[in-house]
Amino acid sequence: MVVSRRELLWRGALGLTGSTLWTSGWLDSLAVPALALGGDPATQGARPLLVVILLRGGADGLHMVPPVGDPDYPVARGGLRLTQSLHFTSDFGLHPALEPVSELVRQGHLAVVPAAGIPTVTRSHFEAQDLMEWGAPGDRRVGDGWLTRALARCGDSNPFALLALTSQLPLVLRGSGAFAINDPSHFGLVGLSDPARRELEVLYDADGADAVSVMGRRALDALTSFEALHGRRSLSGTSRTQQRLRRFPRPRGMGTLHAGARRLIALEGAGIPVEAVVLESARWDTHAGQGTEQGAMASSIADLGEALAALFDALPHRALRVVALTEFGRTVAPNGAGGTDHGHASAVLVAAKDVKGGVHGTWPGLAQGDLFEGRDLAMTTDTRSVLAAVLDAHLGARLPEQTFPGFTPEPLALFPERRG
């Protein structure tokens, strides 16, 4: 196969940022080694770590956090009513599959906003996910994601400040120059000869300021920084990483989020100075066979719970904050296939040691007259208000005004007020 010079550069930039592997000519030897700038994880506690979890497919917030105290819940949910749930508050429970976060709940480190969503009404996954990641519903001129705008300066001196442990860079990080690393143990230039690497560097330098060349040079610079400190070695092979991962034996059938959490733990174990990470899973579109305590959605909820538990157990030295959100919720009543269809509001979960645990926001109720368009949970909190509160806590200051253009976040008492 003949590869053009331009295609070579494009594939190279993508390969260096972890979203693909090269498969042509001398590029067959390209894989990705460990990326790290050094540093002892024990000293990283001063820096906060933000984890954004995207639940793609429309997660059913009524299933994750059932409103057991709502008198209309049993009738409204019908066959999807949970007959057993974990205690959370007097009016809300947690799905039994969230049992791994029981200790977080006991310590008051889990908060839920149960009727959150985006104000633009759409039942299209693609449109709703774009709106969720843009953070600017109705403004299609926005070309980058809200996380990029909030943390715009993070990556100036640290190429690993923002990462996505995903197969492709999500829209929420578009424009940030961040890396998408599906598997950190295969990220870099393993086996590439020095002459070939120099040729690659010359090719990127020659094309100047276009996006592909900039991305390629950024990746090569990151590799050079790592190798100056650690040499060319595998992330998964470092003793510190292995010690951390041994605490979490790989369970059979481990879900996407739990696997992503383990990868983040491995990065942390290697001393990589990450400040914000995006994880995602895509098994939340439960049109059929949703189940109650067991079933299709229960396994996705368990994956989320296991990921949260692993992160907080493995990273006690970090000021860790996690927010999990979805593009929209599901219909309140089940459909004829024992599932739910695309809805409106859902639940946003926030886990952190400094969060005020419990339920926040206003509950709209499940009486027929309270439902949105007669079928969905009504939205009472804009998801951007939740994100603004989390970002304020992460930054230790008010987030940049351009983060959510044209939107004024509603005050939510998710975190203690800052003094001074």
Please name each of the domains of the chain with its CATH number. Answer: 31-190+232-403 (3.40.720)
* pLDDT number for residue 4: 47
Confidence of residue 158 (pLDDT cuts 50, 70, 90): confident
Is the pLDDT confidence value at 34 over 80?
Answer: no
DSSP state of 379: P
pLDDT tens profile 209-266: 665 666 666 666 666 655 654 555 555 444 555 555 555 555 566 899 999 999 898 8
Overall average pLDDT of the 42-60 stretch: 83
* pLDDT number for residue 328: 96
Q: Which of 4-13, 20-29, 173-182, 283-292 has the highest mean pLDDT?
A: 283-292
Q: How far apart are CA 349 and CA 61, in angstroms?
A: 10
* pLDDT number for residue 36: 32
Q: How far apart are CA 379 and CA 329, in angstroms?
A: 10
Which one, of 280, 359, 306, lies nearest residue 102 by Cα?
A: 306
Overall average pLDDT of the 4-13 stretch: 45
Q: Cα–Cα distances in Å, from 292 out to 62, 130, 324?
A: 11, 29, 21
pLDDT tens profile 341-360: 999 999 999 999 999 999 99
When the pLDDT of each residue in the chain is averaged and rounded to a whole number, the result is: 81
* pLDDT number for residue 322: 98
Tell me if the pTM is above 0.85. Answer: no
Lowest mean pLDDT among 17-26, 40-49, 136-145: 17-26
* pLDDT number for residue 46: 56
* Burial status of residue 373 (CB atoms within 10 A of its CB: 0-12, 13-18, 19 or more): exposed
* pLDDT number for residue 120: 87
* pLDDT number for residue 159: 74
pLDDT tens profile 366-407: 999 999 999 999 999 999 999 999 999 999 888 888 899 889
Lowest mean pLDDT among 71-80, 328-337, 409-418: 409-418
* Percent of the chain whose predicted confidence (pLDDT) is above 90: 53
Do 93 and 358 form a contact (C-beta atoms < 8 A)? no
pLDDT tens profile 271-289: 778 899 999 999 899 999 9
Q: Which two tokens stand for residue 32?
A: 């990705």
User: Would you call 278 helix, strand, or coil by DSSP?
Assistant: strand
Do 31 and 219 form a contact (C-beta atoms < 8 A)? no
Do 34 and 187 form a contact (C-beta atoms < 8 A)? yes
Overall average pLDDT of the 119-147 stretch: 84
Is the pLDDT confidence value at 91 over 90?
Answer: yes
Is the pLDDT confidence value at 174 over 50?
Answer: yes
Q: Which ranges of 270-366 does DSSP label H, i.e. alpha helix?
A: 296-314
Do 185 and 266 form a contact (C-beta atoms < 8 A)? yes
* pLDDT number for residue 206: 59
